[in-house]
Amino acid sequence: MAHTHKSLEPAPSGRGESKTPRPGSVTKRSGRQDVSKKRVEMDNAEAKSPRKMAMFKVMNASRGTIMPAYDKLIGGDAVRAVREGLPVSAVDELVESGAISAIEVYDVVLPRKTLANRRVVGSLTPDQSDKLIRVGRTIAKAEATFGSPEKAARWLRRPTAPLNGEEPLRMLDTEAGARVVEELLSKIDHGIAA
């Protein structure tokens, strides 16, 4: 089943706003990312903001994979970022990475209307941030287990017998569901389950 990945960005207001590329954005001409230069710019510009750096490290995933970015976020940075609330742009970054669609975000992380309300505030609540990190963590684990973003995406969206016929991605709306999915991924990684 093909999933369409739509941006969650609001439409330009027409007030002379320029569209500058985000760090790690894909250029239309080459299809490649100029991540290293942008990462240095981001590191220099926002080094004093642990919340923004944690969000950047999680969500600045290279096109089609989230694993390298997620691996960089460990320990206190993640806890601090979640407690302070990730910027709403973290949701957009995850969708733009191709790891999850906008519709899936509405189903698993937070509803569309709630996201619109959080855009006004500018950041997610700690609970919403925790859900977003949980989804990123599980996608990263699936990518590591299956060795490619494409295989991980197929597995996450396919009903699975050990999960009583549920799609693993749909179980990530709760911590308990995410633990079951991660335990199954560990078993698959060790050759215990199929």
Going from the C-alpha of 34 to that of each of 7, 14, 27, 58, the distances in angstroms are 20, 28, 8, 17
3-class secondary structure, 77: helix
Return the structure tokens found at 109: 């992380």
| Model confidence at 7: pLDDT above 80 | no
3-class secondary structure, 159: coil
Q: What is the DSSP string of 148-171?
A: SHHHHHHHHTS-BGGGTTB-GGGG
Its pTM stands at 0.65
The pLDDT score that the predictor gives to residue 12 is 46
| CA 184 – CA 163 distance, rounded (Å) | 9
Highest mean pLDDT among 4-18, 29-43, 71-85, 138-152: 138-152
Region 11-21: mean pLDDT is 45
Per the CB < 8 A criterion, the answer to whether 189 and 145 are in contact is yes
Which single residue is written with the structure tokens 């700690």? Answer: 126
Region 99-119: mean pLDDT is 96
| CA 48 – CA 38 distance, rounded (Å) | 17
| pLDDT band of 74, cuts 50, 70, 90 | very low
- Higher-pLDDT residue of 134, 43: 134
- Higher-pLDDT residue of 170, 55: 170
Distance of CA 79 to the CA centre of its chain: 16
| pLDDT band of 25, cuts 50, 70, 90 | very low
| pLDDT band of 76, cuts 50, 70, 90 | low
Distance of CA 97 to the CA centre of its chain: 7
Q: What are phi and psi of 87, to 5 degrees?
A: -65, 150
